């Protein structure tokens, strides 16, 4: 979870500074995708444990 937040923060900082904008957008997308996948897997784990 920490690496996901780090990717998002680094992406936002790079965008704000205007440095390596394409790389910043890429880092943001990777961070968001990992965050969503992690959330879905967490929900699936909770549902599986209840059944």
Which range marks the domain in which residue 32 is found? 2-50
* Residue 15: both structure tokens together: 């965008």
Task: Work out the percent of the chain whose per-residue pLDDT is above 90.
Answer: 18
What's the sign of the alpha-carbon dihedral 41, 39, 42, 46?
negative
**Residue 19, SS3 per DSSP:** coil
pLDDT band of 50, cuts 50, 70, 90? confident
Answer yes or no: is pLDDT of 51 > 80: no
pLDDT of residue 14: 87
Answer yes or no: is pLDDT of 40 > 90: yes
Cβ atoms of 37 and 13 closer than 8 Å: no
pLDDT of residue 43: 92
pLDDT of residue 37: 93
Distances (CA, A) of 16 to 9, 42, 50: 11, 31, 43
Count of the separate structural domains present in the chain: 1
Q: Residue 25: how many CB atoms within 10 A of its CB?
A: 13
């Amino acid at each position: 979870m920490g690496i996901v937040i780090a990717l998002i923060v680094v992406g936002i900082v790079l965008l704000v500074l205007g440095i390596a904008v394409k790389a910043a957008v890429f880092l943001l997308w990777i961070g968001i995708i990992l965050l969503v996948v992690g959330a879905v897997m967490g929900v699936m784990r909770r549902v599986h444990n209840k059944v």
